[in-house]
Amino acid sequence: MTNSTQLKTIIIDDFHPVLLEQLKAYNLSFHYLPNLTETEALKVIPQYNVIVVRSKVNFTADLIKSLPNLKCIARGGAGMDNIDEATAQENNIILLNAPEGNRDAVAEHAIGLMLAISNNITKANKEVKNANWQREANRGFEIGGKTIGIIGFGNTGKSLAKKLCGFDCRILSYDKYAPSLDPNVAAVGLQELLSQSDIISLHVPLTLETKWMVDEDFLNQCKHQMVLINTSRGKVVNQLAVLEALKMNKLRGFASDVLENEKFETYTPVEMAAFKALSEFSQVVFTPHIAGWTKESYYKIGDVLASKLIDFTTNLKKY
C-alpha cells in the first residue's frame, strides 16, 4: 500500500460525516475546513495535493496552472463544470466525482417534474389554496403510453430509464458518447428523438458542446406540444428560445430545476423581465437546483467520493 500520508488533503466544502469517517478509517490525514470563504480557500489550497470541493471554487485554467502541488481534485457531485478538465488533464491532475451518489435523486425529481406538468399539480395546488375549484381546466394527461426521450445516458439517464419502465411508456435515448445498451430503451439519433418524443428530459453535462444546446433550431425539430424537463445545467437551455416556443404554443410545458443564472441578485433588468415572462406561464415549473439534493444523496455522495479518494491515495501507481 502506498504511503498516502505523503499527500496533503483539504476538504473545503460541507460533506456528510461518512466521508470523514471513511478517510479516518484508512488512516488518511486531511484538513476539513468547510467554512472557508472562497477568498480564504484560494489562499490555502496551493500547499495541498488533493482538494475536495463541491462548488466553492471555480478551477479555471489559470488557477490550475498556479497550483504546482495539485495531484487530484475530487468533486462532490456529478457535474464537473466548475473545473477546466482539459487543463487538469494536461497537467496530469486526476479528477474524481460522484455521479453515482445523486443519480437516483435526480431521476426521481425529473419524474416529479413530469408529473407536475402532466397533472397540472402546481397550478391546481395554487388554485385550490385560493378556494378556486377547477377540475376540467386541470384535466391532465398520462405518462403511460407516451414516448419519453432521454438526452444523455450516463448515470442519471440510466436511472431515469429504469424508473420510467414502471410507467409503461416508450423510452428513447440519445448519447453521442454512451449509446444505450438497455433492452428497454431504444438508442436513436438526436433528430429521431426530437421528432418522436412527447417528453424530453435532459441529463447532459455542461460543456462547450452542450452549452445552449436547446435553442430555437432544437425546439423547431421537436414534436409539437412536447414537454421539456431540465435537471442538468441551466446553460444547456436557452430560456429565451423556450419563452418564444411557449408563446407560439409549440411547447406543452417546461419544468426546470436549474436556471441560466441562479443568482437573482445579479440579474440585469432584461434577464429579470425574461424570467418573469417565463414564470407567468402556468405550464412552467421551477425548483431551486434541488434535484440531487436529498438526505440520501448527501450520504451517498460522501460515501462514493470517500471510496474513490481511498482508492486514489492508496493506489497512486494505478493513476
Q: CATH classification of 101-286 is 3.30.70.20, yes or no?
A: no
Q: Which fold has domain 4-97+296-318?
A: Rossmann fold (3.40.50)
Q: How far is CA 99 from the centre of its chain?
A: 9
pLDDT tens digit sequence for 70-95: 999 999 999 899 999 999 999 999 99
pLDDT (tens digit per residue) in 34-56: 999 999 999 999 999 999 999 99
pTM of the model: 0.94
C-alpha cell at 6: 505523503
pLDDT band at residue 1 under the 50/70/90 scheme: very low
- Which residues carry out catalysis? 233, 262, 289
Phi, psi dihedral angles at 77 (to 5 degrees):
160, -175
Please check whether residue 113 is in contact with residue 285, taking contact to mean a CB–CB distance below 8 angstroms.
yes
C-alpha cell at 84: 477546466
Where do the domains of the chain lie? 4-97+296-318, 101-286
